[in-house]
Structure 1
Amino acid sequence: MAFVRRLCLLLTALTLALAPHRAAAETAPPVLIIVDGSGSMWGKMEGDENAKIYGVRDLLRERVLAAPSQSRIGLGSFGQRRKGDCSDVEIITPIEAGGSEAAIAGLEQLNPKGKGPLTAAIREGAKAIGAGAAGHIILIHDNADNCSQDVCAAANDIAKTNPALKVHVLSLGLSKPERDRMQCLAATTKGLQFDAENQANIATALGEIFTTAGLDSAAVAPPVPAAAAPAAAKGPPGLRLSAALRDGSEPIATAMSWRITKAGAAPDAPPLVERKSREINETVEPGRYTVAVTYGLIQRTLDIDVGDDGPTVKRIPLNGGRLDVTATASRQGDQLTAPVMTISALSADGTGPASVLWLGREATAGLMVPAGKYAVEVADGLARTVQTVDIAAGSAARAELVLDTGRLELSATAFDGGPPLERVLYLVSADDPAAPEGRREVARSTASLATFTLQAGTYYITARHGAAEFRDQLAISSGDIVKRTLVLGVGQLTVKTAVPQAAVQSGRATVTRVFETGAAKRLVGQSTAAVPTFILSAGRYRVEAQVGMSNIRAEQTIDLAAGGALTADLKLQAVEVTIAGIASATAQAAMRDTAGRVVWRSRTGDGFKAVVAPGEYVIEVEGGSGEITVSIKPGPAVTVDIATP
C-alpha cells in the first residue's frame, strides 16, 4: 500500500507540473506564417548581398525555433510550386501545437518560382484558422497581388467572418503605390503593418509581430521551477543518442536517419533500429554497436560501447554544415527554368579531382553536406559558371551564381509579314580567334521557333533555307529575351520537264539544274527528281534540264519574287537514230554536232542506236567505213544507212 500511495503522489505531482503547459497549448492562439513564394523573392533588397528568401528564412528560423514549445504554428505560401498559376496556394504545414520544427522544415524546402496570388493565400489562411476563431496571420511578401484579386475586399470579408483574426503584414521593399494598396489589410483586421528596406528592418518587425502574436517565449512562457543540473543517465543499458553538426554544438532539431546494428554483424543482417527521428532512446543489451547516421548528404558511422551499468549517452558530431545555392539568369534576379546544377567535392587544396556529390535540375538547393571544399556548377543551355565554396563544420555557406544569360528566339519568313517558314536551319556562331575562320559554331536548330540560351555577348546568325542563306549579327545582354524574325526574301521554284519516250528508254536520268544569271553563273540547285522544287533567294535564274550527259537539253530564264511560287515548264526533244550499213559489229561509230563535239559514241551490244536531240550531225565509223552528214528532224525514230551515198 505504501508503494501505491507513493505512486499516486508521484502522478499527482507530475499532473500538476504539466498542467500549465497543457493549458497553454490548449489556449495558445493559432498562428499561420505565410511566406511569399513568387519568383521575385530571389531578388535582393538594397544593400543586401543575399536573396530576400534567404534573409527571411534565416530570421524566421531563429524566431520560430525560439517560440514557446506549446505555440500553435503553421506555414503557408503561394507561387512556390508552379509558374504562372494564380491558384498556386498551399498550407504547407498545418497549424498545431509544437509545429515549429515542421514549419521550419517546410520553410527550408521553399523554392520561389511563380506568380503572387497573395489575396487567395490570405483567404486560405483564414479558412485554416477557422471561421470565427481568434488568431494571427503573419504575411511576409515583396509585391502586391498580381493575380487581379482585391486584397481590401478580402480584408473586409475576414473582418466579418473572423473579427478576432489579425493579419500582420511585413512588406519587403515595396514601391509607394504598392504600399498604399496593401495598407487596408492590416488596418481592417487590426494587425501590424511594417515596410522593411533591409535585414535589420525585417528583424525588428518580426520581433514586434512575434510578441503581438504570442510567440515571444519571454512574454508567454508559463512559470516553471529553475532547472536542476542534469543528473547522470539512469536506467537499463541502452543507447541515448543525438547528433550535432560539430563537436560541442547544439543537437540537431530535425529528424535524421538512424541505423543501428550489432558490431561485426553480417552486411545483410537486419538492423536492430532503423528509423528517422531527432534522437535515439533504445534499450539494448551490453556490448558494441555500429551506429550509422544520415543527415542530408552527411553520413557518419561509428562503433559505440554499451556497458551494463546504465545507458550510454552520446551526442555524435557529424562534422558537416549547410550549403544553400541560388542560380539566376541575370543580376536582376531573372529566374532559370531548368538548369543543371552539380555539386562536387574537391580535395582540401582545391586541386584534386572532383567527385560529384549531388546533381539536379533546380535553380536553388539547400543541402546538408560534410565539411570540406566544393565546386558548385550551374549550366543552362550553352551557359556555364562555377563557384568554389568552403563549408566548415557547424557553419552555413551560400553560393549565389549568376549565369549572365539571355534568350534568343529565331523564326523566319519568306517575305516581310509572311507566314513562318518550316525546315530552316539556324546556326549561331561566336568569335573565336583559335577557330579556322575566327568564329566557332556554338548552336544550331531546325525548330520552327528556334530558342537558344546564351551568355551575354555578340553572336553571328546564319539561316539556311534550301539554296537561300541569310546572315545577321546581334548582341544579347544579361536577362534579355531577344526575338528576331528573319526575312529571308525567298521564293519557291518548281520545274516540270516533259521527257520524250526515246529519252526515257535510254535509261539515263534527267538532271535539273538552276544557275544564277550574273557574271559568276553559279550553280545554286540540282536535282534528279521527276518534279523538283527549289527554295531560292529572289532574283533571275537560268533553269536547265538535261538527259544524262547527252545533248538532249532544254533551258528557260525565270524571275523569282520573294514569297512567290513559280513553275517552269521545260520540254525536251529526242530522236532515236539507228545507223545501218556498218560491216563489222565490232566497229566504232560516233556522231558529232556542228561544233565538232562528240554527242554519241557506240558501245558493244547497243546495235548502233543513238538517242540525240534534233540537229545536224556527222556520223563517222572507225576503220575506214566512211562518214556521212545527216539532218535529224523532230519526230519518230529514223534509220541512217552509212553505206548508201
Structure 2
Amino acid sequence: MRLMLRLAAVLLALIGLSLPALASSRAIVILDASGSMWAQIDGKTRIEIARDTLSQVLSGVPAELELGFMAYGHRTKGDCTDIELMVPPEAGTADRIIGAAMSLNPRGKTPLSAAVRQAAEELKYTEDAATVVLITDGIETCEADPCALASELEAAGIDFTVNVVGFGLSDEEGAAVKCLADNTGGTYISADDESGLKDAIDVAVNDTPPPQPDEPVEEPAVEYNFAPVAYLSEGDDPLVNDGIVWEFAKPNADGTPGEWVRTEYGTAFKGDVEPGDYVVTAKLDYATVTVPVTVIAGEVARPEFMLNAGHITIRPIPSEGAEPDSNAAVFLEFPDANSTTFYGELKTYVPAGETKITVTIGAAELKDAVSVAAGERVTKDIVVGVGHATVNSFYVEGMKVEDGNVFTEIFGAKKDIQGDRKSFGYTYGPEAAFDLMPGDYVAVATFDVAKAEQPFTVKAGEATDVSVPLDAGVLFIDAPGGLWIEVLSGKPDIQGNRTTFSGVYDATSTRTLPAGDYRVRVEYEGDAPDKEADATVTAGERTEIKVE
C-alpha cells in the first residue's frame, strides 16, 4: 500500500510537470503492460497497483489538459510491434484512460523505445511542445537503444520531454532507462525511492529546483557465478518476482536429479555455487522444469528455464451475483497428474494444458476444467449454483426444538435400486444449515425417540426454511428407589411383544417421544418385583408420572 501511494505521488508529480505549459503542450502517458507486470509487490500485482494509481491520479488532473494514453505488450506475446494508442490526446480523457488501463492483460515484450517514438509522433513533437510520461517495470527488450532515441527526439523536437517512472527497477535497470529523461531534459524517479518521490513532488508543486544528488557511495561487489533466468513461455519477458524455488541436485547416470545439494528461494536469485555439474529444478507453484547446468570456475552460468506454464485465478461462487465463498474447497488436478486443494479464491501458476477443477461448497459439488496456454493468464468464475436450506424441528407447529442434541440429516429425494437414498450431510442442533445443489431432498430429524422427515426443494441462489414436525412431547418418569427405567410401546405386536425404546440406569428419566401411549417398566435392586405403569404422551406437552 505504501508503495502504491508513493507511485501515485510520482505520477501526479510527473504529469504535473506539464501543467505550466498547458497552452502550448500536450502529453501522453505510456503504461508498460508486458508480462512482467504480473509480478507481485506485497501480495498485489504491479498491473493492479498501476491501474489503481492511475485512477487516483487522473481524478485530479484538470479537465482542459490534453492527455492521451498508450500501452504496449498487452495483446500478443513476443511481438515488438504490440503498441497501441488507446486514448488520443484530448481534453477530458481521464475516465477513458482509466477504463483503458483496467482492460489491459499483460502478456508481451517491452518495446519502450518504439512506444516513446510513436507517442512523440502522435504529439507532433517537431511542431509543438510535447511531454511523454513513461511508466515501466522493465528495460528495453526489442533491440533498440532508448538513449540514442532520446537524443534523436530531443534534437528534432520543438520542446520535447520524457519523464520516466521506473517501477520496481533495480539500480542497474533504472540506469538503462534513465537516459530517456536525462537526454530530453525530463525527470527520472524510481517508485522504490522515497526521497526521490519527495523531490519530484517538491519540483512539481513548489517549483523548486531539484536538489543535487549526493556523492555515490561505493557498495561492495556481490560475487556470484550462477544467475538463472526463468520464463513462463517462449517470447515472454523474464519472470521478476514470482517466488521461484531453485533445487540443486547431483545428476544421476540417466540425467535425472539425484542427491540433493541445496535449495534457494526467489526468482531473482544470484549466488555462488560450487563448480560442477548439477540438475537444477525451478518450481513456481505447481509448474516445474528441470535443466542440467554446468558451473565453471571463473565464469557466470546463466541458464534459462522455460516453465511452459500459465497462471489461473479461480473464483468459486455459490450462485449468480454472489461473491466468492472463502470456505469453498477447490480441488485441482494438473496435466502432470499432481493435485492439491485450496480454499476460497485462488491464484496460482499451473502447467500449460487442462487443469481439472472440483468445487465443493457444503454438500454442493461442481466439476469443471480450465485450459491455459503457456504464458497465458486465465480468470474463471465457477458458479456452483448453490441453494441454502435451514432446517428446524418442532414438537408441534410453533414450538421449536432448541436442544443441541436434535440430529438432522439431508437425503436425496430419490431412492436407488436397493431402496437407499444418498446422504448429503448431517449436523446437530437447531438452525441446521446446508448448502445444496438445486433439486429435491428430504430432511430427516431425530430427537431421542421422535423421528420425522420433511421433503423440500432447493433452488439456486435461494434460501429455503424447512420445518420438520416431530409431533412429539416429553415424558418425565420419577421412580423412587428404581435401578433401571425402560419405556416400551403401549400396545404389544401380533406376537405379543412390545417395542423397547431403551432405558437408563437411574431413578428418573426424561424422554422425548412421539405422541401416543406407552408402557413404563421399572426394575429395582435385590428381589423387589418390577413395576409397570401406563403413560400417554401428548404432542407439545410435558407429561409426568410417578412409579412407586
Asked which structure has the greater CA Rg, the reply is: 1
Q: Distance in 1 between matches of 2:8 and 2:99?
A: 28
Q: Deviations over 1:293-319 (max 9, x none)?
A: 333322223233467997565543222
Paired AA for residue 445 in structure 2: A
SS in 2 for 1:137: helix
Asked if 2 retains the 8 angstrom alpha-carbon contact of 1:344 and 1:375, the reply is yes
Asked if 1 retains the 8 angstrom alpha-carbon contact of 2:386 and 2:435, the reply is yes
Q: Give 1:493 shift.
A: 1.3
C-alpha change, 1:192 and 1:523, in structure 2 (3 Å) is farther
Asked if 2 retains the 8 angstrom alpha-carbon contact of 1:260 and 1:289, the reply is no
C-alpha change, 1:387 and 1:30, in structure 2 (3 Å) is farther
Q: Distance in 1 between matches of 2:486 and 2:149?
A: 103
Q: Give 1:473 shift.
A: 0.8
What are the within-5 Å matches in structure 2 for residues 453-492 of structure 1? 453-492=435-474
SS in 2 for 1:414: strand
* Mapped pair 1:137 → 2:28: no
C-alpha change, 1:535 and 1:138, in structure 2 (3 Å) is farther
What are the within-5 Å matches in structure 2 for residues 14-413 of structure 1? 28-29=11-12, 65-66=32-33, 102=40, 106-107=44-45, 137=56, 194=95, 202-203=99-100, 218=119, 219-221=132-134, 224-226=147-149, 238-239=225-226, 241-257=228-244, 259=246, 267=259, 269=261, 274-278=264-268, 280=270, 290-305=279-294, 315-346=304-335, 354-356=337-339, 358-362=340-344, 364-413=345-394
Q: Distance in 2 between matches of 1:195 and 1:415?
A: 63
Instruction: Name the % identity.
Output: 16
Structure 1 unpaired stretches of 5+: 1-23, 32-61, 68-97, 111-124, 130-134, 140-154, 167-189, 208-215, 229-235, 348-353, 572-645
Aligned to 1:564: 541
Q: Give 1:429 shift.
A: 1.2
Aligned to 1:636: none
* Mapped pair 1:447 → 2:360: no
Q: Distance in 2 between matches of 1:439 and 1:221?
A: 65
Asked if 2 retains the 8 angstrom alpha-carbon contact of 1:513 and 1:527, the reply is no
Q: Distance in 2 between matches of 1:498 and 1:63?
A: 91
What are the within-5 Å matches in structure 2 for residues 538-549 of structure 1? 538=515, 540-545=516-521
TM normalised by structure 2 equals 0.56
Q: Give 1:392 shift.
A: 2.8
TM normalised by structure 1 equals 0.48
Structure 2 unpaired stretches of 5+: 1-6, 15-28, 66-90, 105-114, 120-131, 136-145, 152-222, 253-257
Asked if 2 retains the 8 angstrom alpha-carbon contact of 1:425 and 1:465, the reply is yes
* Mapped pair 1:437 → 2:419: yes
Asked if 2 retains the 8 angstrom alpha-carbon contact of 1:237 and 1:286, the reply is no
Q: Give 1:108 shift.
A: 8.1
Asked if 2 retains the 8 angstrom alpha-carbon contact of 1:291 and 1:301, the reply is yes
Q: Give 1:269 shift.
A: 4.5
Aligned to 1:145: none
Q: Distance in 2 between matches of 1:288 and 1:509?
A: 80
C-alpha change, 1:192 and 1:567, in structure 2 (3 Å) is farther
Q: Give 1:239 shift.
A: 5.0
Alignment RMSD, CA only?
Answer: 5.1
Q: Distance in 2 between matches of 1:29 and 1:459?
A: 59
- The structure whose RCO (Cα within 8 Å, separation 6+) is larger is 2
Q: Aligned residues, how many?
A: 384
